[in-house]
Chain A
Protein backbone atom coordinates (compact mmCIF):
# COMPACT_ATOMS: atom_id res chain seq x y z
CA UNK A 1 0.00 0.00 0.00
CA UNK A 2 1.38 3.37 -0.86
CA UNK A 3 1.61 6.35 1.44
CA UNK A 4 -1.37 8.19 0.00
CA UNK A 5 -3.63 5.24 0.65
CA UNK A 6 -2.28 4.86 4.16
CA UNK A 7 -3.00 8.53 4.76
CA UNK A 8 -6.52 8.12 3.38
CA UNK A 9 -7.11 5.08 5.60
CA UNK A 10 -6.10 7.10 8.68
CA UNK A 11 -8.35 10.05 7.82
CA UNK A 12 -11.19 7.71 6.99
CA UNK A 13 -10.93 5.90 10.32
CA UNK A 14 -10.84 9.19 12.24
CA UNK A 15 -13.99 10.37 10.47
CA UNK A 16 -15.70 7.04 11.12
CA UNK A 17 -15.01 7.38 14.83
CA UNK A 18 -15.96 11.04 14.97
CA UNK A 19 -19.34 10.49 13.39
CA UNK A 20 -20.16 8.03 16.15
CA UNK A 21 -19.40 10.70 18.73
CA UNK A 22 -21.43 13.73 17.76
CA UNK A 23 -21.20 15.26 21.20
CA UNK A 24 -17.43 15.62 21.02
CA UNK A 25 -17.76 17.47 17.74
CA UNK A 26 -20.48 19.84 18.75
CA UNK A 27 -19.17 20.99 22.12
CA UNK A 28 -16.11 22.99 20.89
CA UNK A 29 -18.35 24.56 18.29
CA UNK A 30 -20.93 25.55 20.90
CA UNK A 31 -18.07 26.87 23.00
CA UNK A 32 -17.02 29.05 20.08
CA UNK A 33 -20.52 30.47 19.69
CA UNK A 34 -20.95 31.03 23.41
CA UNK A 35 -17.64 32.79 23.99
CA UNK A 36 -18.43 35.03 21.05
CA UNK A 37 -21.84 35.90 22.47
CA UNK A 38 -20.48 36.57 25.96
CA UNK A 39 -18.82 39.81 24.92
CA UNK A 40 -21.89 41.75 23.78
CA UNK A 41 -23.61 40.60 26.98
CA UNK A 42 -20.73 41.55 29.25
CA UNK A 43 -20.08 44.88 27.51
CA UNK A 44 -22.98 46.62 25.92
CA UNK A 45 -24.32 45.97 22.45
CA UNK A 46 -23.13 49.22 20.89
CA UNK A 47 -22.54 48.74 17.19
CA UNK A 48 -19.41 50.85 17.06
CA UNK A 49 -17.64 49.06 19.92
CA UNK A 50 -18.63 45.60 18.76
CA UNK A 51 -17.39 46.34 15.28
CA UNK A 52 -14.02 47.30 16.76
CA UNK A 53 -13.85 44.29 19.05
CA UNK A 54 -15.29 41.76 16.62
CA UNK A 55 -12.13 40.63 14.79
CA UNK A 56 -10.20 40.07 18.01
CA UNK A 57 -13.05 38.39 19.87
CA UNK A 58 -13.95 36.03 17.05
CA UNK A 59 -10.32 35.07 16.48
CA UNK A 60 -9.71 34.48 20.18
CA UNK A 61 -12.90 32.42 20.45
CA UNK A 62 -11.76 30.31 17.48
CA UNK A 63 -8.33 29.88 19.06
CA UNK A 64 -9.80 28.74 22.38
CA UNK A 65 -12.27 26.40 20.69
CA UNK A 66 -9.39 24.80 18.77
CA UNK A 67 -7.44 24.43 21.98
CA UNK A 68 -10.40 22.81 23.70
CA UNK A 69 -10.79 20.20 20.98
CA UNK A 70 -7.06 19.49 20.77
CA UNK A 71 -6.74 18.13 24.25
CA UNK A 72 -8.22 14.78 23.32
CA UNK A 73 -6.46 14.51 19.96
CA UNK A 74 -4.12 11.63 20.82
CA UNK A 75 -5.32 10.64 24.28
CA UNK A 76 -7.77 7.91 23.27
CA UNK A 77 -5.26 6.39 20.84
CA UNK A 78 -2.65 6.15 23.54
CA UNK A 79 -5.05 4.66 26.07
CA UNK A 80 -6.48 1.98 23.80
CA UNK A 81 -3.15 0.98 22.28
CA UNK A 82 -3.84 2.08 18.71
CA UNK A 83 -0.98 4.56 18.93
CA UNK A 84 1.46 1.70 19.62
CA UNK A 85 0.22 0.04 16.48
CA UNK A 86 0.73 3.20 14.45
CA UNK A 87 4.23 3.70 15.85
CA UNK A 88 5.11 0.09 15.03
CA UNK A 89 3.60 0.13 11.57
CA UNK A 90 6.07 0.35 8.70
CA UNK A 91 4.49 3.62 7.57
CA UNK A 92 5.89 6.97 8.70
CA UNK A 93 4.44 7.98 12.04
CA UNK A 94 4.52 11.64 11.00
CA UNK A 95 2.15 10.82 8.14
CA UNK A 96 -0.25 8.99 10.46
CA UNK A 97 -0.29 11.91 12.89
CA UNK A 98 -0.66 14.35 10.04
CA UNK A 99 -3.69 12.35 8.90
CA UNK A 100 -5.17 12.61 12.37
CA UNK A 101 -4.48 16.35 12.41
CA UNK A 102 -6.13 16.82 9.03
CA UNK A 103 -9.18 14.93 10.31
CA UNK A 104 -9.14 17.12 13.41
CA UNK A 105 -9.16 20.23 11.27
CA UNK A 106 -11.94 18.92 9.02
CA UNK A 107 -14.07 18.17 12.08
CA UNK A 108 -13.20 21.15 14.28
CA UNK A 109 -11.47 23.85 12.27
CA UNK A 110 -13.59 23.83 9.15
CA UNK A 111 -16.90 24.20 11.05
CA UNK A 112 -15.41 27.26 12.78
CA UNK A 113 -14.58 28.78 9.41
CA UNK A 114 -18.11 28.09 8.21
CA UNK A 115 -19.76 29.40 11.35
CA UNK A 116 -17.63 32.51 11.79
CA UNK A 117 -19.37 34.70 9.16
CA UNK A 118 -22.70 34.22 10.93
CA UNK A 119 -21.14 35.41 14.17
CA UNK A 120 -19.35 38.24 12.40
CA UNK A 121 -22.73 39.60 11.38
CA UNK A 122 -23.75 39.83 15.05
CA UNK A 123 -20.66 42.00 15.55
CA UNK A 124 -21.74 44.25 12.67
CA UNK A 125 -18.59 43.58 10.68
CA UNK A 126 -18.84 44.97 7.15
CA UNK A 127 -18.72 42.58 4.20
CA UNK A 128 -15.00 43.10 3.64
CA UNK A 129 -14.31 42.21 7.26
CA UNK A 130 -16.46 39.07 7.10
CA UNK A 131 -14.63 37.91 4.01
CA UNK A 132 -11.25 38.61 5.60
CA UNK A 133 -12.30 36.73 8.74
CA UNK A 134 -13.26 33.65 6.74
CA UNK A 135 -10.09 33.81 4.68
CA UNK A 136 -7.73 34.25 7.64
CA UNK A 137 -9.50 31.53 9.62
CA UNK A 138 -9.27 29.23 6.62
CA UNK A 139 -5.50 29.70 6.46
CA UNK A 140 -4.92 30.15 10.18
CA UNK A 141 -6.87 27.32 11.82
CA UNK A 142 -4.90 24.54 10.07
CA UNK A 143 -1.74 26.12 11.46
CA UNK A 144 -3.34 26.14 14.90
CA UNK A 145 -4.26 22.46 14.53
CA UNK A 146 -0.71 21.56 13.50
CA UNK A 147 0.80 23.52 16.40
CA UNK A 148 -1.73 22.09 18.81
CA UNK A 149 -0.95 18.57 17.65
CA UNK A 150 2.65 18.99 18.81
CA UNK A 151 1.44 20.21 22.19
CA UNK A 152 -1.12 17.41 22.44
CA UNK A 153 1.57 14.86 21.56
CA UNK A 154 3.95 16.27 24.18
CA UNK A 155 1.31 16.23 26.91
CA UNK A 156 -0.42 13.00 25.86
CA UNK A 157 1.20 11.01 28.64
CA UNK A 158 0.60 13.63 31.32
CA UNK A 159 -2.36 13.61 33.66
CA UNK A 160 -4.39 16.83 33.98
CA UNK A 161 -2.85 18.16 30.82
CA UNK A 162 -5.50 20.74 29.81
CA UNK A 163 -3.89 23.76 31.43
CA UNK A 164 -0.41 22.60 30.49
CA UNK A 165 -1.36 22.26 26.84
CA UNK A 166 -2.64 25.85 26.82
CA UNK A 167 0.54 27.09 28.47
CA UNK A 168 2.71 25.30 25.90
CA UNK A 169 0.96 26.17 22.69
CA UNK A 170 -0.69 29.56 23.29
CA UNK A 171 2.59 31.52 23.03
CA UNK A 172 3.41 29.64 19.84
CA UNK A 173 -0.02 30.41 18.41
CA UNK A 174 0.27 34.14 19.03
CA UNK A 175 1.66 35.10 15.60
CA UNK A 176 -1.29 33.40 13.89
CA UNK A 177 -3.68 35.24 16.16
CA UNK A 178 -1.96 38.58 15.62
CA UNK A 179 -1.91 38.28 11.84
CA UNK A 180 -5.43 36.86 11.61
CA UNK A 181 -7.16 39.30 13.91
CA UNK A 182 -5.29 42.36 12.66
CA UNK A 183 -5.90 41.46 9.03
CA UNK A 184 -9.62 41.14 9.72
CA UNK A 185 -9.52 44.46 11.53
CA UNK A 186 -7.66 46.15 8.67
CA UNK A 187 -10.08 44.76 6.09
CA UNK A 188 -13.04 45.95 8.13
CA UNK A 189 -11.65 49.47 7.98
CA UNK A 190 -11.20 49.13 4.24
CA UNK A 191 -7.45 48.57 4.00
CA UNK A 192 -5.31 46.15 1.99
CA UNK A 193 -4.61 42.86 3.75
CA UNK A 194 -2.50 40.97 1.24
CA UNK A 195 0.60 41.41 3.47
CA UNK A 196 -0.68 39.62 6.58
CA UNK A 197 -2.47 37.04 4.43
CA UNK A 198 0.83 36.15 2.73
CA UNK A 199 2.50 35.96 6.12
CA UNK A 200 -0.27 33.69 7.44
CA UNK A 201 0.18 31.46 4.40
CA UNK A 202 3.93 31.36 4.97
CA UNK A 203 3.36 30.33 8.58
CA UNK A 204 0.99 27.62 7.40
CA UNK A 205 3.53 26.22 4.94
CA UNK A 206 6.26 26.29 7.56
CA UNK A 207 4.00 24.52 10.05
CA UNK A 208 2.97 21.99 7.41
CA UNK A 209 6.54 21.06 6.60
CA UNK A 210 8.00 20.85 10.10
CA UNK A 211 5.36 20.23 12.72
CA UNK A 212 4.18 16.71 11.77
CA UNK A 213 7.78 15.56 12.29
CA UNK A 214 7.84 17.27 15.68
CA UNK A 215 4.54 15.59 16.61
CA UNK A 216 5.95 12.20 15.67
CA UNK A 217 9.04 12.77 17.81
CA UNK A 218 6.81 13.89 20.68
CA UNK A 219 4.58 10.82 20.42
CA UNK A 220 7.59 8.52 20.55
CA UNK A 221 8.65 10.27 23.75
CA UNK A 222 5.16 10.11 25.26
CA UNK A 223 4.86 6.39 24.56
CA UNK A 224 8.30 5.53 25.95
Chain B
Protein backbone atom coordinates (compact mmCIF):
# COMPACT_ATOMS: atom_id res chain seq x y z
CA UNK B 1 0.00 0.00 0.00
CA UNK B 2 2.66 2.45 1.10
CA UNK B 3 4.90 1.57 -1.83
CA UNK B 4 2.04 2.01 -4.22
CA UNK B 5 1.33 5.41 -2.69
CA UNK B 6 4.90 6.51 -3.11
CA UNK B 7 5.09 5.27 -6.63
CA UNK B 8 1.96 7.17 -7.55
CA UNK B 9 3.38 10.26 -5.91
CA UNK B 10 6.46 10.22 -8.12
CA UNK B 11 5.93 12.90 -10.76
CA UNK B 12 6.92 10.92 -13.89
CA UNK B 13 4.71 8.04 -12.87
CA UNK B 14 1.80 10.35 -12.17
CA UNK B 15 2.38 12.16 -15.44
CA UNK B 16 2.21 8.91 -17.37
CA UNK B 17 -0.83 7.53 -15.52
CA UNK B 18 -2.72 10.82 -15.73
CA UNK B 19 -2.01 10.90 -19.44
CA UNK B 20 -3.61 7.48 -19.82
CA UNK B 21 -6.67 8.16 -17.67
CA UNK B 22 -7.61 11.70 -18.56
CA UNK B 23 -8.99 11.06 -22.09
CA UNK B 24 -11.11 8.18 -20.78
CA UNK B 25 -12.49 10.34 -18.02
CA UNK B 26 -13.12 13.20 -20.36
CA UNK B 27 -14.97 11.18 -23.01
CA UNK B 28 -17.04 9.16 -20.59
CA UNK B 29 -18.03 12.34 -18.76
CA UNK B 30 -19.01 14.07 -22.01
CA UNK B 31 -21.18 11.13 -23.04
CA UNK B 32 -22.86 10.99 -19.64
CA UNK B 33 -23.39 14.76 -19.67
CA UNK B 34 -25.09 14.44 -23.07
CA UNK B 35 -27.42 11.69 -21.77
CA UNK B 36 -28.15 13.57 -18.55
CA UNK B 37 -28.82 16.81 -20.36
CA UNK B 38 -31.26 15.07 -22.71
CA UNK B 39 -32.97 13.48 -19.70
CA UNK B 40 -33.12 16.74 -17.83
CA UNK B 41 -34.16 19.09 -20.60
CA UNK B 42 -36.42 16.81 -22.65
CA UNK B 43 -37.58 13.72 -20.79
CA UNK B 44 -38.18 15.20 -17.34
CA UNK B 45 -41.58 16.85 -16.91
CA UNK B 46 -41.86 20.49 -15.97
CA UNK B 47 -42.17 21.15 -12.26
CA UNK B 48 -45.72 21.88 -11.19
CA UNK B 49 -44.65 24.85 -9.08
CA UNK B 50 -41.57 26.18 -10.81
CA UNK B 51 -42.48 25.35 -14.42
CA UNK B 52 -39.65 24.99 -16.93
CA UNK B 53 -37.41 27.20 -14.84
CA UNK B 54 -36.57 24.39 -12.48
CA UNK B 55 -34.41 22.77 -15.18
CA UNK B 56 -31.52 25.07 -14.28
CA UNK B 57 -30.94 22.86 -11.26
CA UNK B 58 -29.38 20.37 -13.69
CA UNK B 59 -26.47 22.81 -13.96
CA UNK B 60 -26.78 24.52 -10.63
CA UNK B 61 -26.83 21.53 -8.29
CA UNK B 62 -23.83 19.70 -9.85
CA UNK B 63 -21.74 22.87 -9.84
CA UNK B 64 -22.70 23.74 -6.26
CA UNK B 65 -21.85 20.23 -5.20
CA UNK B 66 -18.52 20.35 -7.01
CA UNK B 67 -17.62 23.78 -5.65
CA UNK B 68 -17.68 22.38 -2.11
CA UNK B 69 -16.29 18.98 -3.00
CA UNK B 70 -13.31 20.49 -4.79
CA UNK B 71 -12.50 22.63 -1.78
CA UNK B 72 -12.59 19.55 0.41
CA UNK B 73 -10.32 17.76 -2.06
CA UNK B 74 -7.94 20.74 -2.00
CA UNK B 75 -7.83 20.63 1.78
CA UNK B 76 -7.21 16.87 1.83
CA UNK B 77 -4.45 16.97 -0.77
CA UNK B 78 -2.93 20.00 0.98
CA UNK B 79 -2.99 18.11 4.25
CA UNK B 80 -1.30 15.13 2.61
CA UNK B 81 1.25 17.47 1.08
CA UNK B 82 1.97 19.16 4.40
CA UNK B 83 2.16 16.02 6.50
CA UNK B 84 4.00 13.65 4.20
CA UNK B 85 5.75 16.37 2.19
CA UNK B 86 4.50 15.11 -1.14
CA UNK B 87 4.95 17.82 -3.72
CA UNK B 88 2.56 16.12 -6.11
CA UNK B 89 -0.28 16.53 -3.61
CA UNK B 90 0.37 20.27 -3.49
CA UNK B 91 0.46 20.38 -7.28
CA UNK B 92 -2.97 18.70 -7.37
CA UNK B 93 -4.36 21.19 -4.82
CA UNK B 94 -2.97 24.11 -6.78
CA UNK B 95 -4.50 22.80 -10.02
CA UNK B 96 -7.88 22.17 -8.41
CA UNK B 97 -8.37 25.71 -7.06
CA UNK B 98 -9.19 27.55 -10.31
CA UNK B 99 -11.54 24.73 -11.34
CA UNK B 100 -13.31 24.95 -8.00
CA UNK B 101 -13.58 28.72 -8.30
CA UNK B 102 -15.04 28.32 -11.80
CA UNK B 103 -17.71 25.90 -10.60
CA UNK B 104 -18.50 28.34 -7.77
CA UNK B 105 -19.01 31.10 -10.33
CA UNK B 106 -21.24 28.82 -12.44
CA UNK B 107 -23.23 27.92 -9.35
CA UNK B 108 -23.69 31.60 -8.47
CA UNK B 109 -24.68 32.60 -12.00
CA UNK B 110 -27.18 29.77 -12.42
CA UNK B 111 -28.56 30.53 -8.98
CA UNK B 112 -29.09 34.13 -10.01
CA UNK B 113 -30.72 33.10 -13.28
CA UNK B 114 -33.03 30.80 -11.33
CA UNK B 115 -33.81 33.64 -8.97
CA UNK B 116 -35.06 36.07 -11.60
CA UNK B 117 -38.29 34.17 -12.41
CA UNK B 118 -38.70 32.67 -8.92
CA UNK B 119 -37.92 35.64 -6.70
CA UNK B 120 -38.36 38.41 -9.24
CA UNK B 121 -34.76 39.50 -8.64
CA UNK B 122 -31.35 38.22 -9.63
CA UNK B 123 -30.00 38.36 -6.14
CA UNK B 124 -31.63 37.32 -2.92
CA UNK B 125 -29.63 36.80 0.29
CA UNK B 126 -30.57 33.17 0.23
CA UNK B 127 -28.39 30.99 2.49
CA UNK B 128 -27.14 28.86 -0.38
CA UNK B 129 -26.22 31.74 -2.63
CA UNK B 130 -24.61 33.57 0.28
CA UNK B 131 -22.54 30.54 1.23
CA UNK B 132 -21.44 30.14 -2.40
CA UNK B 133 -20.40 33.78 -2.49
CA UNK B 134 -18.29 33.39 0.64
CA UNK B 135 -16.80 30.20 -0.78
CA UNK B 136 -15.81 32.18 -3.86
CA UNK B 137 -14.03 34.72 -1.63
CA UNK B 138 -12.18 31.87 0.05
CA UNK B 139 -11.07 30.48 -3.30
CA UNK B 140 -9.86 33.94 -4.31
CA UNK B 141 -7.96 34.27 -1.04
CA UNK B 142 -6.26 30.91 -1.61
CA UNK B 143 -5.27 31.76 -5.16
CA UNK B 144 -4.03 35.25 -4.25
CA UNK B 145 -1.96 33.89 -1.39
CA UNK B 146 -0.33 31.36 -3.70
CA UNK B 147 0.30 34.02 -6.33
CA UNK B 148 2.03 36.29 -3.82
CA UNK B 149 4.91 33.87 -3.23
CA UNK B 150 7.73 33.62 -5.72
CA UNK B 151 9.03 30.38 -4.30
CA UNK B 152 6.72 27.53 -5.25
CA UNK B 153 7.56 25.45 -2.20
CA UNK B 154 6.51 28.31 0.07
CA UNK B 155 3.37 28.92 -1.97
CA UNK B 156 2.52 25.24 -1.56
CA UNK B 157 2.94 25.20 2.19
CA UNK B 158 1.29 28.57 2.89
CA UNK B 159 -1.61 27.84 0.55
CA UNK B 160 -1.96 24.37 1.99
CA UNK B 161 -2.18 25.69 5.52
CA UNK B 162 -4.81 28.21 4.47
CA UNK B 163 -6.82 25.48 2.73
CA UNK B 164 -6.77 23.37 5.88
CA UNK B 165 -7.77 26.31 8.11
CA UNK B 166 -10.48 27.15 5.59
CA UNK B 167 -11.96 23.67 5.55
CA UNK B 168 -12.49 23.80 9.30
CA UNK B 169 -14.21 27.12 8.79
CA UNK B 170 -16.46 26.15 5.89
CA UNK B 171 -19.07 24.27 7.93
CA UNK B 172 -19.01 27.03 10.54
CA UNK B 173 -19.64 29.63 7.86
CA UNK B 174 -22.33 27.48 6.28
CA UNK B 175 -24.29 26.99 9.48
CA UNK B 176 -23.81 30.62 10.55
CA UNK B 177 -25.34 31.70 7.27
CA UNK B 178 -28.28 29.33 7.80
CA UNK B 179 -28.81 30.69 11.33
CA UNK B 180 -28.46 34.24 10.08
CA UNK B 181 -30.99 33.79 7.28
CA UNK B 182 -33.44 31.99 9.56
CA UNK B 183 -33.87 35.33 11.35
CA UNK B 184 -35.35 36.94 8.24
CA UNK B 185 -38.97 37.70 8.78
CA UNK B 186 -39.84 38.49 5.16
CA UNK B 187 -42.56 36.75 3.14
CA UNK B 188 -42.15 33.02 2.73
CA UNK B 189 -39.26 33.09 0.32
CA UNK B 190 -38.80 29.88 -1.51
CA UNK B 191 -35.38 28.48 -0.91
CA UNK B 192 -33.13 27.80 -3.86
CA UNK B 193 -33.16 24.07 -3.61
CA UNK B 194 -34.00 20.99 -5.60
CA UNK B 195 -37.80 20.71 -5.60
CA UNK B 196 -39.37 17.65 -4.04
CA UNK B 197 -38.46 15.57 -6.92
CA UNK B 198 -40.00 12.71 -8.87
CA UNK B 199 -38.04 9.85 -10.37
CA UNK B 200 -38.15 11.28 -13.88
CA UNK B 201 -36.57 14.44 -12.62
CA UNK B 202 -34.14 12.74 -10.27
CA UNK B 203 -32.17 10.35 -12.45
CA UNK B 204 -30.85 13.02 -14.83
CA UNK B 205 -29.78 15.06 -11.83
CA UNK B 206 -27.88 12.18 -10.23
CA UNK B 207 -26.37 11.26 -13.58
CA UNK B 208 -25.26 14.84 -14.16
CA UNK B 209 -23.71 15.07 -10.72
CA UNK B 210 -21.71 11.92 -11.43
CA UNK B 211 -20.84 13.09 -14.94
CA UNK B 212 -19.60 16.50 -13.82
CA UNK B 213 -17.49 14.85 -11.15
CA UNK B 214 -15.87 12.75 -13.87
CA UNK B 215 -15.48 15.87 -15.98
CA UNK B 216 -13.80 17.61 -13.07
CA UNK B 217 -11.50 14.61 -12.67
CA UNK B 218 -10.49 14.84 -16.31
CA UNK B 219 -9.81 18.60 -16.19
CA UNK B 220 -7.93 18.19 -12.92
CA UNK B 221 -5.67 15.54 -14.44
CA UNK B 222 -4.97 17.71 -17.49
CA UNK B 223 -4.16 20.70 -15.31
CA UNK B 224 -2.11 18.71 -12.81
CA UNK B 225 -0.07 17.19 -15.65
CA UNK B 226 0.76 20.65 -16.95
CA UNK B 227 1.54 21.81 -13.42
CA UNK B 228 3.87 18.86 -12.79
CA UNK B 229 5.62 19.43 -16.09
CA UNK B 230 6.12 23.10 -15.24
CA UNK B 231 7.44 22.36 -11.76
CA UNK B 232 9.79 19.64 -12.92
CA UNK B 233 11.01 21.38 -16.04
CA UNK B 234 14.61 21.15 -14.86
CA UNK B 235 14.50 17.48 -14.08
CA UNK B 236 15.87 14.64 -16.10
CA UNK B 237 12.60 12.94 -17.02
CA UNK B 238 11.04 16.10 -18.42
CA UNK B 239 14.14 16.78 -20.49
CA UNK B 240 13.99 13.21 -21.79
CA UNK B 241 10.30 13.57 -22.51
CA UNK B 242 10.81 16.76 -24.48
CA UNK B 243 13.81 15.29 -26.25
CA UNK B 244 11.77 12.36 -27.53
CA UNK B 245 9.30 14.57 -29.30
CA UNK B 246 10.47 15.92 -32.62
CA UNK B 247 10.17 19.66 -32.85
CA UNK B 248 9.59 20.15 -29.16
CA UNK B 249 12.02 21.85 -26.76
For the complex formed, measure the closest distance between the CB of B85 and the CB atoms of chain A, giving whole angstroms: 13
- CA–CA, A50 to B144, complex, Å? 36
Residues of B within 8 A of A (CB): 134, 137-138, 140-141, 144-145, 148-149, 153-154, 157-158, 161-162, 164-166, 168-169, 172-173, 176-177, 179-180, 183
Does A179 make an interface contact (CB < 8 A)? yes
For the complex formed, measure the closest distance between the CB of A139 and the CB atoms of chain B, giving whole angstroms: 15
Q: Are A178 and B149 in contact (CB under 8 A)?
A: no
Main secondary structure of the interface of A (DSSP, over half): helix
- CA–CA, A109 to B165, complex, Å? 23
Q: Are A203 and B172 in contact (CB under 8 A)?
A: yes
- CA–CA, A69 to B98, complex, Å? 31
Which residue of chain A is the closest to B143 with respect to CB atoms? A167
For the complex formed, measure the closest distance between the CB of A148 and the CB atoms of chain B, giving whole angstroms: 12
For the complex formed, measure the closest distance between the CB of A106 and the CB atoms of chain B, giving whole angstroms: 24
Does A210 make an interface contact (CB < 8 A)? yes
Main secondary structure of the interface of B (DSSP, over half): helix
In the complex, what residues of B have CB within 8 A of residue A178's CB?
A: 176-177, 179-180
Q: Are B166 and A172 in contact (CB under 8 A)?
A: yes
Question: How many of chain A's residues have a CB under 8 angstroms from any CB in B?
Answer: 30
Q: Are A217 and B137 in contact (CB under 8 A)?
A: no
Does A35 make an interface contact (CB < 8 A)? no
In the complex, what residues of B have CB within 8 A of residue A218's CB?
A: 158, 161
For the complex formed, measure the closest distance between the CB of A220 and the CB atoms of chain B, giving whole angstroms: 9
Q: Are B149 and A158 in contact (CB under 8 A)?
A: yes
For the complex formed, measure the closest distance between the CB of A171 and the CB atoms of chain B, giving whole angstroms: 4
Q: Are A221 and B166 in contact (CB under 8 A)?
A: no
Q: Are B165 and A150 in contact (CB under 8 A)?
A: yes
